[in-house]
Amino acid sequence: MFNHVEYIYAVYQEKSFTKAAQRLYISQPSLSATVSKVEKEIGYPIFDRGGREVTLTYIGQKYIRAAEQIMQIRKNLANEIDDLVKLRKGKVVLGCTAFIACHFLPPLLKAFGRKYPDVEVQLKVEQSTMLRERLEKGMVDIIIDNVLFKEPNYTYLPLLQEQILIGVPVELEVNRRLEDFRLDPLQLCQQNCDYSVLPKVDMSLFRDEAFILLKSGNKMRQIAHSIFAENGMSPKVGCEFDLLLPSISFAENGYGICFVPDLLLKCAGYSDKLAYYQPDTKNKTRTLYIFHRSDKYMTFAGKELIDFLQANV
C-alpha cells in the first residue's frame, strides 16, 4: 500500500489532484487511478473528494503519518549511503529568516564553499513558523533562528548572543537629554564589544515616544514587551511590521523608535540617521541557535556546516 506513497503525498500537499498531477508530470486520470488502487488495497478512502479542496479522511491522516515516517527512513538511508560512497560530497538544505540570509550568512557560506567546494548548500528563506513546519516534514536539514520551538526531538546548539539596542531617530528632541548615554556606533560594530562598560539608559525616558514594533509572534516583539513590562510602560505604537528591516527604515525616517539587534550593525553597518542606546533592562539579549531534528540522520555536509558556523561566527 506504500508503493505509490509519493503520489499520495503530493495530493495531500497540493490538496488537489490536478495540481499534484502537474507537479508529478503525469496525467490526472493516471494519478486518480493510482490513488484509487491504493485505497482499494486499504479498503477505505484516503481522501475526501467532496469539498472544494481534497482533504484527508481519518484513515488518510493515519496513512500520511506513516508515509512521512517511511519517507524519512528512506531519506536517512539514502543520505547515509551517499556519505559512504561520495565521502566529502553532499548537499544540505539550510533554513533561515530573511534577516539571517541577507546580513549574516553570505560571507560565512562563501568561506564554507571555498573549504568544501563539493558540498552544496541550498537556502530556504521563510518566517520562523514556516521553518519549523519544513523541518518537521524533512524539507530542510538545519535551521538558524532565534526562536526555540521546545520540541523533544530537536537538538539546539547556541551560535551567538545578540544585544538588543534602541535606535532613536536623530531628529527627536529626546536625544538632547541623552548625550551622555549615546553609544558610539563604530564601537558597536566591533565583534567583541563589551556592553558591561557602556552606559545604559532608563527606558522611562522614552515613555512619551512612538515605537515601531514587529508583529505578534516575532521574538523581537516578545523581547520588546518584556522590556516594556519591566519598566511599567504602555508604549504608543506607531507602526508594526512583519520584518525587521522595514521597521528600521521607518525609524530612520523619523516614524518612531525601534529595537535593533547589534548583529545587524556588525553585519550591515550602522545608520547615521539613528542614535543608539543600551536599555537599562534585564531583557536585552537574544540567542541565535542552530537546530536540527535529533531523530534524523545528519549527513557529512550537515555536520561540517554546523561545525564550520560554530567555529567562525
At 148, which CATH number? 3.40.190.10
Number of domains the chain is built from = 3
- The residue among 81, 99, 132 that closes a domain is 81
Please name which of 144, 115, 114, 120 lies closest in space to residue 132, comparing C-alpha atoms.
144
Write out the residue range of the structural domain in which residue 100 sits: 88-159+288-312
90-96 and 142-145 as β-strands: parallel, antiparallel, unpaired? parallel
- The residue among 81, 115, 145 that closes a domain is 81
> Grid cell 493515519 — which residue?
62
- At 73 the pLDDT is 87
Residues 172 and 261 in one domain: yes
Residues 204 and 174 in one domain: yes
Residues 113 and 20 in one domain: no
- Give the list of residues 6+ apart from residue 240 with CB closer than 8 angstroms, or none: 212, 213, 214, 215
Residues 282 and 165 in one domain: yes
Please tell me whether residue 166 adopts helix, strand or coil conformation.
Answer: strand
What are the angstrom distances between the C-alpha of 252 and each of 7, 24, 50, 275? Answer: 50, 48, 53, 10
166-192 pLDDT per residue, tens: 999 999 999 999 999 999 999 999 888
Residues 21 and 72 in one domain: yes
- The residue among 26, 50, 81 that closes a domain is 81
> Grid cell 532613536 — which residue?
168
Residues 171 and 227 in one domain: yes
- At 86 the pLDDT is 61
For residue 281, report the phi and psi dihedrals to the nearest 5 degrees. -155, 155
- At 194 the pLDDT is 92
CATH number, domain at 25?
1.10.10.10
pTM of the model: 0.68
- Give the list of residues 6+ apart from residue 281 with CB closer than 8 angstroms, or none: 203, 227, 230, 231
Q: Which amino acid is at 311?
A: A
Residues 99 and 214 in one domain: no
Residues 149 and 51 in one domain: no
Residues 296 and 252 in one domain: no
Residues 191 and 143 in one domain: no
Residues 116 and 179 in one domain: no
86-135 pLDDT per residue, tens: 656 678 999 998 889 988 999 999 999 998 888 889 999 988 888 888 88
Listed as ranges, residues in the chain with pLDDT below 70 are 83-89
Residues 153 and 171 in one domain: no
CA 306 – CA 104 distance, rounded (Å):
15
What are the angstrom distances between the C-alpha of 216 and each of 167, 172, 222, 240, 254? Answer: 20, 26, 8, 9, 23
Query: What is the per-residue burial (b if ≥16 Cβ within 10 Å, else e) of 57-93?
Result: eeebeebbeebbeebbeeebeebeebbeeeeebbebb
